[in-house]
Amino acid sequence: MSAPSNNTAPVIRFSDVHKSFGEKKILAGFSMELEKGQTLAIMGPSGVGKSVTLKHAIGILTPDAGSVEVFGQEISKATRKELAEMRKRMGYVFQEGALINWLSVGDNVALPLRENTDLKEDEIRERVQRRLELVHIPDAWELMPSEISGGMKKRVGIARALITDPELILYDEPNAGLDPEIARSINALIRELQERLGVSSLVVEHRIDCIRTVADEVLFLDGGKAVVQAKPEEFFNSSHPRLARFFGKDSA
Ligand SMILES: Nc1ncnc2c1ncn2[C@@H]1O[C@H](COP(=O)(O)OP(=O)(O)O)[C@@H](O)[C@H]1O
Ligand SMILES: [Mg+2]
């Protein structure tokens, strides 16, 4: 199905997606939907395919079977040009921040605009400054990545993901490597961006406090499939045996 772009379709839809690497089956009938304005968290054991799932949503990976639709369009059927247009509508926050070490904070944030748009330098500078303000680091432009903390690198990564005004943001473990206090400030920022900008988000994370702060729903990925999907209160109180085992609450 390669439905044309429309407003009623979910922002992301995975339908019965299968993906293997060699002999290793990672996704085996994975389905999920992300509605407009919603934040869905994906949780699951390490190595289960959470990052692989995000990479399907950006079109870095394509399914062996099944389909991945983003903005109502099947991503594996998109032309290179269509894919580039789709990617302008998405922001991706990498686990390690993925800043370029020899570029200043401001130039890192400006990169997607310099690479993908014909905007004039004045306009680029103004947009970058607004994004730095949005993530609460208004004076960081001239700093180099080696001079800033892990929490600030995350903020810069988020500012860069926001620079093209995306409708959809994908976060890969936004709390990884952060102490609890800084993690809380990042989670509050993610929530604030959802509320202020109305973006849809997919958040891969295993920190419970993060999920409680940011997620409308939580999906547990295991064995290549969505095992449970529920609102956070329901999810964390669930008596589902797989979740009980994951959280160490089983009596066995
Ligand atoms: N491009 C790739 N080529 C081969 N194997 C991969 C590739 N990407 C991921 N994998 C494998 O898929 C599995 C799931 O990876 P990943 O999605 O990164 O796990 P996680 O749930 O921890 O994010 C891992 O075993 C990983 O080694
Ligand atoms: Mg991962």
> How many Å lie between the centroid of ligand 2 and the Cα of residue 204?
8
What is the reported pLDDT for 249? 74
Atom 5 in ligand 1: residue holding the nearest Cα = 21
> How many Å lie between the centroid of ligand 1 and the Cα of residue 49?
6
What is the reported pLDDT for 177? 81
Confidence of residue 66 (pLDDT cuts 50, 70, 90): very high
Atom 17 in ligand 1: residue holding the nearest Cα = 49
> Of the bound ligands, which one is closest to the alpha carbon of residue 47?
1
Phi-psi region of 72 (alpha: psi -120 to 50; beta: other; left: phi over 0): left
Confidence of residue 10 (pLDDT cuts 50, 70, 90): very high
> Of the bound ligands, which one is closest to the alpha carbon of residue 61?
1
Q: What is the mean pLDDT of residues 228-233?
A: 94
> How many Å lie between the centroid of ligand 1 and the Cα of residue 51?
7
DSSP 2: -
All residues at 6 or more sequence positions from 205 whose CB lies less than 8 Å from its CB, including other chains: 41, 42, 43, 171, 173, 174, 175, 211, 214
Q: Is 45 helix (H, G, I), strand (E, B) or coil?
A: coil
